[in-house]
Amino acid sequence: MTHRLHDPESRAFASDNYAGAHPEIIDAIVAANSGHQISYGEDAYTERLHEVFAEQFGEQVEVFPVFNGTGANVTALQSMLPRWGAVVAASTAHINTDEGGAPEKVGGLKLLTVDTPDGKLTPELLDKQAWGWGDEHRAQPLAVSITQTTEVGTCYTVEEVKALAEHAHSLGMRVHLDGARIANAAAHLEVPLRAFTTDAGVDLLSFGGTKNGLLLGEAIVVLNADASDGLHYLRKVNMQLASKMRFISAQLIALLTDDLWLRSAQHSNAMATKLRTRLEDAVASGSAPALGFTQATESNGVFATLPKAAADRVREAYRFYDWDAARGEVRWMCSWDTTDADVDGFVDAILAALA
């Protein structure tokens, strides 16, 4: 007997990780569940997965399914660098702020961070840390990691990724892209996934699924084989090798079939746009004078400021996170299953708290 332990009507705007798995993903897991399949990736689903990713990113790709985003990032970056290597990243990058030091503690990598106004690195910002080659006293900056979309909800354009990749490669550095919300970026830019990855010069990619409807699972995608080595071993060393890999692969296949990845991302982006628009209208009308916005809304997140007392009142009905408590900045995230009614109810709660 199944015992539900939560209210299925509960809604939140704290994280796209709060949402359940998409029904099409659950169907894919069920379909893959019958009979026996060879473990550790020698199954029919993982074989098909390589074909599906090749359709999106090019025939040269190699795909390594893993359990989670931190595992994908750490393992991917390890494969790109020698022991003395360092990674340049924005100070807001997930690898720097939200992975418990795993890139450094588990991966043995030095992170060289740069402050950015919008979460995005540029060639000029890269140069702030891309120096000191040959200096035995300095960890060698041999890779750059960018996040698409960024942790503050902004999106690199295709041209911005190309310019950064070209500059990094000219310095002898490799380029990693943390694509936890890569689908939201493609939906916002209205371009194929390969446009700002393979075709823009990205060498290695962490492909996100959990934030876009998967039960669990991400993938390390090698776009340039010359930029990565040892993933066959590193995935096991980092405890990211699934024995029943068919269940991760089946989900990723379903996500990339019939544009489920795009449909889900378009919807979550649209809900964030609606949330932002309704609140902007309230500010313009004078009914929410204490509300402000700190970043452009270019994916499924809205970053705003409001008084702490008002935020606490809203949290009585809807959970969400502080982003920078010192200045009253909060983050509101929409998901593949956020509805118009959810947004309307949330907006009403915010306006009532501000009144």
Residues 23-48 pLDDT 10s: 999 999 999 999 999 999 999 999 99
- The residues near 43 (Cβ < 8 Å, ≥ 6 apart) are 37, 245, 246, 249
pLDDT at 16: 97
CA distance 193 to 185: 9
User: Could you give the 3-state DSSP secondary structure of residue 61?
Assistant: coil
Q: What confidence category does residue 79 fall into, taking pLDDT thresholds of 50, 70 and 90? A: very high
pLDDT at 100: 96
Q: What confidence category does residue 295 fall into, taking pLDDT thresholds of 50, 70 and 90? A: very high
User: Could you give the 3-state DSSP secondary structure of residue 3?
Assistant: coil
Residue 308 has pLDDT above 70, yes or no: yes
What are the pLDDT digits (tens) for 110-149? 999 999 999 999 999 999 999 999 999 999 999 999 999 9
Q: What confidence category does residue 1 fall into, taking pLDDT thresholds of 50, 70 and 90? A: low
Q: Which domains does the chain have, with CATH numbers?
A: 23-259 (3.40.640.10), 261-354 (3.90.1150.10)
Element (H, E) at 265: helix 260-285
CA distance 201 to 224: 9
Q: What confidence category does residue 2 fall into, taking pLDDT thresholds of 50, 70 and 90? A: confident
Q: What confidence category does residue 223 fall into, taking pLDDT thresholds of 50, 70 and 90? A: very high
Distances (CA, A) of 65 to 29, 68, 241, 335: 15, 9, 8, 23
Tokens representing 175 are: 């380029």
pLDDT at 278: 98
What are the pLDDT digits (tens) for 58-69? 999 999 999 999
pLDDT at 29: 98
Average pLDDT of the chain, as a whole number: 97
